[in-house]
Structure 1
Amino acid sequence: MKFKKYLLDWRYFLMVFFILAILGYFFIYQPVNFPLHTLVSVEKGVTIGQTADFLEQKNFISSSFWFVALNRLLSGGRGVLAGDYYFDKRQSLFTVSRRLARGDFGLTPVVVFIPEGSSIKEIAVILEKTLPSFAQEKFLAEAQAKEGYLFPDTYYFPPNIKPAAVIAAMEKNFNDKLTTLNEKISAFGKSLKEVVIMASLLEEEARQLETKQMIAGILWKRLKINMPLQVDSSFQYVNGKNTFTLTLDDLKIDSPYNTYFYKGVEIGLQKIPSIFERKIQCGTGLYVYRFCFT
């Protein structure tokens, strides 16, 4: 009798242990190589089995079989809901199954800070580092014509945002800031394109406001007398060099970005100008035509 009781106790113990192990596997265990800060897109028409196989291959789950079983139980047989799912931390098999069954996308906005003076290439790097699966090359191609008109600021983007939406948000911000300055631009007598290009050149030519004001006055004077601007900042688009690495031979390179070679400001934009509210300021001093755009 004692032996039977002892055996029965062990059976209960093993059964409880087995149940706890299963619960731990479903609710607690998280794959060691779980991909963090990753966006998973589930397309319409994709089956539960295909989704389960993909998640197992990418280490989101440890068992495609149990994912399918849990998903059918939690979704009532509806399967996985199509959409973009963002995973910012490791999660258990049960949690992943429940999220895809209920459409819990986890698309909490991500803070993206774009510093003043950033080029579109620098913006693309920031976006790729901050947003999972961001199409950097597509952004560069679509933003090329908008460089200088994308406002530097702090943005809150969903993790699955597309390049076109980022460009639209930044351009709208630029235009919103511009509305309070339209009269000043008109009074200055220069086109918006000329003003923005000049401001973008000054971003690399100087850092202090007073220095930018002085240089701006000199450059507008050169334009007025039909003299080349002769600035070094545009050479980053010619051969990647700056003021400290340029040689006399570099100044002879035939390139539309060579402001020693070509006159005017139709060279294209290099950098996003500084805070736009400060951009248009006019002053007088030792330099004639000292109009400041910083």
Structure 2
Amino acid sequence: MPEPVSFLENIFERGHVFLTRLSSRWDAHANRRTIVILLLVGTITALSYVYVIQPPESFPVDTLISVQKGQSLAEVAKSLQEAGVVRSASALHVFVKLIGSERNVHAGDYIFKEPRDLFSVARALVVGAFGLEPFRIRIPEGATTKEMAKIFGRLLQRFNSENFLAQSAQQEGYLFPDTYFFLPNITEDAVIQAMRQNFDQHIAALRPEIASSTRSLSDIVIMASLIEREARNSADRRMISGVLWNRIDRGMLLQVDVSFLYTIGKGTFELTNKDLMTDSPYNTYTRKGLPPTAIGSPSLDSLQAAVHPTKSNYLYYLADRNGVTYFSKTYAEHLRKKRLYLGT
């Protein structure tokens, strides 16, 4: 018969073994659960990290994004999140501080040609990689300020066509037609200044001759704008210039059709008798002299033609539907050529 103490010790020993085994099983189960939880947390964290740094689906490609001077990093980050540049303002705040500091953020206009991840956006802010590249913009010869406003408004994101037209109201004919390279954030005033400066540079060589003539710069620019629309080549420009100056010097009506393009948008072969009687200061069929302003921006060749007209006794001209120009000294001769070449 076993001793009571030995019996109890045996019971406790067996119980301890059982509890130890149970505890081990419990610990193993708990460890596995902890590992699973940690893996899940890690996976979620990794996926969240990947999600946060990736560009939003609505990333504003080729859109000007402004960072205002004096904005805090928190304000900048919030505005970029609202603009769809980054997914998380907080994450951008952290990234900027990791690679630089709040004071390193460069104010200005940014443009991204393709979606950028969070790190790339943060780096752009810190190093001032604005991404701005000039647009190549061609303004055709003879273009009006209204036509220019449409061209600039289509290509420049911040361009306000109404402001441009208001500021250029007295500049018709003085904004030189040319190919320009403008940054997308250029202001309307800066565009006007650049184009007017270009005009001044081109007209500089002609100023002494204009000053010594009986014509004002305004008259030359207006005449050149008519010539630009009326003629297709240099020879015709100088001939037509001579005819129009002859008519002005004789007190005759200019009777040019191109001024109607400026006022009612109709060309020579679209005009009606009613159109020819339209009450307008630009109607050279009813008003003597030059129109009150230019009807577009003349080329240098047209400006030169206005200053250096071909001397002749011609008072009339017409162009057929192929653009060939015929000149006449008398009205009777003009009518004959009109019937011959235009069938009217």
TM-score range, shorter chain: 0.7 to 0.9
Q: Give me the whole-angstrom Cα distance separating, in 2, the residues matched to 1:10 and 1:212.
A: 86
Alpha-carbon distance, 1:84 to partner:
1.7
Alpha-carbon distance, 1:79 to partner:
7.1
Moved more, 228-237 or 117-126: 228-237
Alpha-carbon distance, 1:10 to partner:
9.4
Match of 2:311 in 1: 284
Match of 2:285 in 1: 260
What stretches of structure 2 of length at least 5 have no aligned partner?
Answer: 1-27, 318-344
1:128–1:85 distance in 2 versus 1, CA, 3 Å: same
Q: Give me the whole-angstrom Cα distance separating, in 1, the residues matched to 2:283 and 2:310.
A: 28
1:238–1:173 distance in 2 versus 1, CA, 3 Å: closer
Q: Give me the whole-angstrom Cα distance separating, in 2, the residues matched to 1:187 and 1:258.
A: 30
| TM-score after normalising by structure 1 | 0.82
| Structure 1 residue identity aligned to 2:314 | Y
Q: Is 1:246–2:271 an aligned residue pair? A: yes
Alpha-carbon distance, 1:100 to partner:
2.3
| Structure 2 residue identity aligned to 1:207 | R
Q: Give me the whole-angstrom Cα distance separating, in 2, the residues matched to 1:33 and 1:17.
A: 26
Match of 2:109 among 84, 88, 104: 84
SS in 2 for 1:145: coil
The one of the two structures with greater contact order (alpha-carbon pairs below 8 A, sep at least 6) is 1
1:62-81 pair list within 5 angstroms: 62-78=87-103, 80-81=105-106
Q: Is 1:121–2:146 an aligned residue pair? A: yes
Match of 2:190 among 165, 182, 191: 165
| Structure 2 residue identity aligned to 1:220 | W
Q: Give me the whole-angstrom Cα distance separating, in 2, the residues matched to 1:181 and 1:217.
A: 17
| Structure 1 residue identity aligned to 2:83 | K
Match of 2:256 among 215, 225, 231: 231
Match of 2:206 among 173, 181, 186: 181
Deviations 1:251-285 (A, max 9, x none): 22221121122211142111110135862333234
Figure out how many residues of one structure are paired with residues of the other and give that number: 287
Q: Give me the whole-angstrom Cα distance separating, in 2, the residues matched to 1:271 and 1:286.
A: 28
SS in 1 for 2:64: strand
Match of 2:166 in 1: 141
Alpha-carbon distance, 1:62 to partner:
2.1
Match of 1:271 in 2: 296
| Structure 1 residue identity aligned to 2:102 | G
Aligned-residue sequence identity (percent) comes to 40
Q: Give me the whole-angstrom Cα distance separating, in 2, the residues matched to 1:278 and 1:65.
A: 60
Match of 2:226 among 180, 186, 201: 201
Contact 1:42–1:51, Cα closer than 8 Å, also in 2: yes
